[in-house]
């Protein structure tokens, strides 16, 4: 008998997401399949092997193409590809990102109702696709969140690096870095909002990887503060957590700033840059 093992929860997770998208409870699917709810739960958690025939039957019950479930055990979840590779623009320019429709739908859904409130059906609707069409591009809602956060960090980091390197000396480098951080959170408001509110929704491995990128951003700011202190740009010495206070001030823009408000993102970013310098006691 050909057994399909649910390696790394891949097939089981896919069965669960298909079931939830179809609006079928675990108990209902177990009854229709002729197994106990405990067995169905074990299948979805990757704790028990499942035959190819049974996978075909599950696909039939969930009105899902059989190859979607059968293929899941033969391919790993694809790594999230960078959508902002080798940028050629200026860090102050925010042209629309080349985001595929499925990711656009996910962004809109996560902003509107949060990750846990967003169903794959809603994401498909906002992407103007069918639910099977969404699953053709991604295996799960978790993968969509990972790709959104990868996109966010890619776009943020190259802008910060370019802004910092544009400065000639300590004060200017700090000012531009703070401005770039604030401007991103005002201009890419939707992405920044998801980044601020949905880190907790990531699975552990993805959480650690994205958290490392966020720490890289914080280190970038901390290093510039330390360099400015070393050459006497900052006097008196700034508090140890001043860099964290500045980054928190900038990232909080995602929570309240509205692009259609009375002030432009550029005005806010310039003001935050000055506020950050004052917090550090930077000499003019």
- Cβ contact 97:69 at 8 Å: no
Specify the pairing of strand 3-4 against strand 50-51: antiparallel
Assign 4 to helix, strand or coil.
strand
Q: Give the span between the Cα atoms of 277 and 242, in whole angstroms.
A: 10
Residue 258 has a pLDDT of 85
pLDDT of residue 84: 41
Report in angstroms the alpha-carbon separations of 264 from 123, 172, 185, 252: 30, 22, 12, 16
DSSP 131-150: HHHHHHH-S-HHHHHHHHHH
Domain 3-72: CATH class, spelled out: mainly alpha
Residue 72 · residue 139 · CB < 8 Å:
yes
Give exposure, 110-129, as e/b (b: 16+ Cβ within 10 Å): bbeeebeebbbbbbbbbbeb
CB of 18 closer than 8 Å to CB of 7: no
| Whole-number Cα distances in Å, 112 to 32, 96, 116, 129, 137 | 35, 20, 11, 18, 22
pLDDT band at 87 (very low <50, low <70, confident <90, very high): low
pLDDT digits (tens, 9 = 90+) for 143-176: 999 999 999 999 999 999 999 999 888 889 999 9
Name which of 22-31, 47-56, 80-89, 96-105 the model is least confident about.
80-89
For the chain, which residues make up each domain, given as ranges? 3-72, 142-280
Task: State the average pLDDT over residues 26-37.
Answer: 86
Band (283; pLDDT cuts 50, 70, 90): low
How distant is the alpha carbon of residue 118 from its chain centre? 14
Cβ of 101: how many Cβ atoms within 10 Å?
Answer: 15
94's CB contacts (< 8 A; 6+ apart) are 187, 188
- The CATH number of the structural domain formed by 142-280 is 1.10.357.10
For residues 121-133, give the mean pLDDT. Answer: 93
Position 71 pLDDT exceeds 80: no
Residue 5 has pLDDT above 50, yes or no: no
Residue 53 has pLDDT above 70, yes or no: yes
């Amino acid at each position: 008998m050909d057994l399909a093992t649910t390696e790394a929860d891949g097939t089981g997770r896919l069965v669960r997401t298909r079931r939830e998208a179809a609006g079928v409870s675990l108990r209902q699917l177990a009854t229709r399949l002729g197994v106990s709810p405990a067995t169905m739960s074990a299948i979805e958690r990757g704790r028990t092997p499942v035959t190819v025939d049974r996978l075909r039957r599950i696909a039939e019950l969930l009105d899902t193409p059989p190859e979607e479930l059968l293929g899941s055990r033969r391919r790993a979840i694809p790594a999230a590809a960078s959508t902002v590779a080798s940028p050629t623009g200026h860090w102050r320019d925010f042209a629309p990102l080349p985001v595929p429709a499925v990711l656009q739908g996910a962004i809109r859904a996560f902003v509107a109702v949060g990750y846990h409130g967003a169903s794959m059906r809603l994401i498909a609707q906002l992407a103007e696709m069918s639910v099977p069409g969404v699953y053709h591009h991604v295996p799960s809602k978790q993968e969509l969140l990972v790709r959104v956060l990868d996109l966010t960090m890619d776009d943020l980091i190259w802008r910060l690096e370019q802004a910092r390197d544009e400065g000639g000396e300590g004060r200017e480098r700090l000012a531009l870095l703070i401005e770039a951080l604030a401007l991103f959170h005002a201009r890419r408001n939707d992405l920044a909002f998801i980044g601020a509110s949905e880190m907790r929704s990531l699975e552990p491995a993805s959480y650690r990887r994205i958290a490392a990128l966020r720490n890289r951003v914080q280190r970038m700011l901390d290093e510039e503060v330390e360099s400015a202190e070393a050459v006497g740009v900052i006097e008196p010495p700034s508090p140890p957590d001043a860099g964290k206070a500045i980054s928190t001030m900038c990232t909080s823009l995602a929570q309240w700033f509205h692009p259609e408000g009375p002030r432009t993102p550029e005005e806010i970013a310039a003001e935050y840059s000055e506020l950050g310098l004052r917090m550090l006691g930077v000499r003019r």
